[in-house]
């Protein structure tokens, strides 16, 4: 089975989950909540695409390869001059900016709770990556840079909060 087909299966599962569970629940809470929560759902689906997919067809095989524990040396690739470390750092920060931006819209959060949820989301991804296939690894640098990206997103949310409130008030 091609990798594209495997990913399509994951997106079908996500679409069914959205239609059956989340859309019905969020629709009853008003248009603004539906839009914000749907944006977060789409964003999380895209993060799963970049970091973990294919998931569904990989589940039966998660124990068919050794689990490689997390690299616990922060910024090891950068300081060792390996690969495209700077690019990876920048992409990991950018990837989590929308999470930090959208989280206080989905559920009112202060900076500490947003930081905690961003950390936990990133930790979940990092710990799951080596389970899905034997080619992905978990790295403390990714955890740090993802969390910083979420923090940056939260500060951008604060900066644009007056504009966001106007947009949301028009959706109600």
Give the model's pLDDT for residue 1. 80
User: Domain limits of the chain?
Assistant: 3-171
Residues 89 and 95: their CA atoms lie apart, in Å, by 10
Stretch 5-20: mean pLDDT: 97
Predicted TM-score (pTM) of this structure:
0.93
Residues 22 and 147: their CA atoms lie apart, in Å, by 26
For residue range 26-80, list pLDDT tens digits in order: 999 999 999 999 999 999 999 999 999 999 999 998 888 888 889 999 999 999 9
Mean per-residue pLDDT of the chain = 94
For residue range 98-120, list pLDDT tens digits in order: 999 999 999 998 999 999 999 99
- Would you give the DSSP letter of residue 139? B
Q: Which whole-number Å values give the CA distances from 169 to 4, 163, 165, in the listed order?
A: 40, 10, 6
Q: Which residues of 154-172 are buried (b: 16+ CB within 10 A; e: fewer)?
A: beebeeeeeebeeebeeee
For residue range 138-163, list pLDDT tens digits in order: 999 999 999 999 999 999 999 999 99
């Amino acid at each position: 089975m091609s990798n594209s087909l495997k990913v399509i299966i994951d997106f079908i599962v996500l679409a069914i989950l959205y239609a059956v569970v989340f859309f019905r629940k969020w629709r009853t809470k008003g248009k603004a909540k539906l839009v914000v929560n749907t944006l977060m759902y789409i964003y999380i689906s895209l993060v799963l695409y970049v970091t973990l997919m294919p998931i569904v067809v990989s589940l039966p095989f998660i124990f068919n390869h050794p689990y490689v524990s997390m690299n616990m040396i922060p910024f090891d690739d950068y300081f060792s001059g390996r690969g495209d470390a700077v690019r990876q750092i920048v992409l990991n920060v950018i990837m989590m900016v929308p999470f930090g931006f959208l989280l206080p819209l989905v559920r009112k959060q202060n900076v500490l709770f947003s930081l905690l949820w961003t950390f936990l989301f990133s930790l979940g991804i990092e710990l799951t990556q080596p389970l899905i296939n034997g080619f992905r690894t978990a790295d403390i640098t990714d955890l740090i840079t993802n969390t910083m990206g979420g923090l940056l997103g939260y500060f951008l949310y604060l900066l644009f909060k007056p504009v966001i409130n106007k947009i949301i008030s028009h959706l109600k």
